[in-house]
Amino acid sequence: MRIRVLGCSGGIGAGARTTAMLIDNDVLIDAGTGIGDLDLEDLDTIRHVFLTHAHLDHVAGLPLLVDRVFDEDVATPLTVYAREETLAAVQAHLFNDVIWPDFGKLPTEENPMLRYRVCGPGDTVGIGHRNFHAVEVMHSVPSLGFTVQNSGGVFAVSGDTKSNETLWPVLNACDDLKVLVIEVSFPDEMASLAQDSGHYTPKSLTEDLERLRHEPEIWLTGMKPGEEQRIFRQVVTAVPDKNIQMLSRGTVLTV
């Protein structure tokens, strides 16, 4: 399983792209601005999108992706998997025939190019050789993390979250956790803002990392532009014994 990081920033500017990860060549986890750097041929192979939540930095590229892959024969539609609340938000606020055409009805309501599938906490979706398992996390809106398992092991992504009681038992139950991508958006000096907006800081993240019984590669994501180095230093200082790295656009992970 090949995970190509298209975007991993908590904002834009100076080459930053927001969250999107391409799994092999056909599945996205989130659809932030990072998908805009893909070649047309790469865009055309994507047929599944898992959304962690409905915030714009995670869905901004979705309307343009659907427009790109639209084909009136709808032989291979694009399916979006997310919580019921996330799908409702996307339908109401993006694909509403005002902000963007409602591709959930095109070319026909009976056979649309864009299709929705509810994927709630605890659900598992099998696509080819991979199983995508949804985990509830704690953000400012209903949100998910995902574990993705194949024969090589487990890749996990937290989505946006603050300290929670739901993610860590699921990770500990993964016998072969190879890679964990986890958000930490604000430095410790902004702890109040992080708590109010539903994000980790280095302190709250490293406290939760002590619950993890495995030793995967840990990649930090979702940092606010300009704060990356300060956040990274605070994390590695707090847990110098863990294999922690900073994710960047273009990173390729293999499981």
What is the rounded distance in angstroms from the CA atom of residue 44 to the CA atom of residue 75? 13
Residue linked to tokens 């919580």 = 83
Contact yes or no for 204/167 (Cβ under 8 A): no
The two structure tokens encoding residue 210: 């002590």
pTM higher than the cut 0.95: yes
- pLDDT tens, the chain, 255 aa long: 999 999 999 999 888 999 999 999 999 999 999 999 999 999 999 999 999 999 999 999 999 999 999 976 678 899 999 999 999 999 999 999 999 999 999 999 999 999 999 999 999 999 999 999 999 999 999 999 999 999 999 999 999 999 999 999 999 999 999 999 999 999 999 999 999 999 999 999 999 999 999 999 999 999 999 999 999 999 999 999 999 999 999 999 999
Contact yes or no for 185/223 (Cβ under 8 A): yes
Domains of the chain: 2-254 (3.60.15.10)
Strands, DSSP E only, in the chain? 2-7, 20-23, 27-29, 48-50, 78-82, 114-118, 124-127, 130-137, 143-150, 153-157, 177-183, 217-221, 244-246, 252-254
Residue linked to tokens 């989505």 = 159
What is the rounded distance in angstroms from the CA atom of residue 206 to the CA atom of residue 221? 14
With b meaning 16 or more CB within 10 Å and e meaning fewer, what string describes 213-248?
eeebbbbbbbbbeebbebbbebbbebbeebebebbe
